[in-house]
Amino acid sequence: MNRRYILFDLDGTLTDPKVGITRSVQHALHTYGIEEPDPDRLTPFIGPPLVDSFAKYYGFPKEQGLEAIERYREYFSVKGLFENEVYPGVPEMLADLKARGKVLLVATSKAEKFARQILEHFDLAQYFDYICGATMDVTIRSAKADVIAYALEQAGVTDKAQAVMVGDRLHDVEGARACGLDCVGVLFGYGSREELEEAGAAAIAETVGDLHTMLKGDDPMPESMTIFFPCKDLEETIRYYTEVVGLTVHSRQEAGSVWFDTGAGYLAFCDYGPGRAMATGECISFNLPSREAVDARYALLRQTPGVLGLDKPPAHHPRFPVYSFFFRDPNGYLLEFQKVN
């Protein structure tokens, strides 16, 4: 699933907000003389617009539901929003997708103000190009389809085939489909497989790792775009290009060669042996879609142990319309990560 624009739900997709949301609902219900000591009975509130949940589970008419949201926010705005946990693997997934040039968005039914505070608190805001949520006045924008449409408009998305939604509940799937998008459902949140499949999810990810694999993109590239290089140590080359550069092994041959999918063609290495001349010093270029993607890749590589890096940060070439930086691989090849202007 190779899409440029990836829209993420927040609650139950990037973070587990159970403690904060259920305590906020308990606070709101208490003001109406309703006591619900079991937080597990309140997990259905995670995800959908609050006004809908108060109506569905406690029979609140719309005006009372809007008032209940204000009581909910009395607790949530002070304590509840940070009674929350980031799912393991999410920061690494976001960093990698960003480095690959994906445009990342948040599309949540949570008030945009609170969504931004949560993402900044957990140091996730840095990965997102757009953070889109409900208005504080939920009568203006709170339905998932409206939030998704708003996010697409903010990002200037015109080709919806290049975008995908990710979420854990049926309203994420239904909202995406209403806007003409596919939706990947996740099972590490609060929705079931049955719920997501019945709503029409295009794919299901059981874990964050599964989701990461789906979103990286694995569309096949024509073999005519393969570039071959000899290498000194095939296993070390495989380790470097998967763990450090972030490529995916497309195939491996018994003859001693490996093909990597670069996202713009194949890169192949073969064992260095008698009669094979090492082309040390040659440059392997990776085209990235934006200057921001170049900067993100540089920051990621600079933080990776064992990288044979150069100290020069990304810069424009004095003669050519290229913004790039260089690192060396274990074979001595220069790796150039570039954005051609």
Burial (0-12, 13-18, 19+ Cβ within 10 Å), 164: buried
Give the model's pLDDT for residue 73: 93
* Cα-based distances in Å from 11 to 19, 143, 147, 172: 12, 15, 14, 11
Residue 238: give its domain's CATH number.
3.10.180.10
What is the distance of C-alpha 70 from the center of its chain?
Answer: 31
Same domain, 74 and 156: no
Other beta carbons less than 10 A from residue 313's beta carbon? 11
Same domain, 211 and 230: no
Dig out the tokens for 275 from the structure.
Answer: 């009669």
Residue 31: give its domain's CATH number.
1.10.150.240
Q: 223: which DSSP letter?
A: G
Residue owning tokens 């919806």: 160
* 218 counts as catalytic: no
Q: 225: which DSSP letter?
A: G
Q: Which of 9, 11, 168, 172 is catalytic?
A: 9
Helices 90-99, 291-302: inter-axial angle, 10-degree rounding: 130
Residue that is last in its domain, among 55, 82, 109: 82
Give the model's pLDDT for residue 172: 96
Encode 122-163 in three state secondary structure. Answer: CCCHHHCCEEEEECCCCCCCCCHHHHHHHHHHHHCCCCHHHE
Closest CA to 51 of 113, 173, 132, 139: 139
For residue 62, the enclosing domain spans 18-82
Same domain, 54 and 154: no
- Percent of the chain at pLDDT exceeding 90: 55
Same domain, 212 and 169: yes
Number of domains, the chain = 3
Give the model's pLDDT for residue 211: 94
Same domain, 156 and 269: no
0.75 surpassed by pTM: no
Give the model's pLDDT for residue 273: 52
Same domain, 10 and 150: yes
Same domain, 9 and 22: no
Check: CB of residue 83 under 8 Å from CB of residue 19: yes
pLDDT tens, position by position, for the chain (341 residues)?
A: 789 899 999 999 999 999 999 999 999 999 999 999 999 999 999 888 889 999 999 999 999 999 999 999 999 999 989 999 999 999 999 998 988 889 999 999 999 999 999 999 999 999 999 999 999 888 888 899 999 999 999 999 989 988 999 999 999 999 999 999 999 999 999 999 999 999 999 999 999 999 998 998 754 433 434 566 777 788 888 888 888 888 888 877 766 778 887 766 678 887 655 444 444 457 888 888 888 889 988 888 888 777 777 878 999 888 778 899 988 888 888 888 888 77
Residue that is last in its domain, among 216, 247, 281: 216
Residue that is last in its domain, among 63, 82, 101: 82
Give the model's pLDDT for residue 264: 63
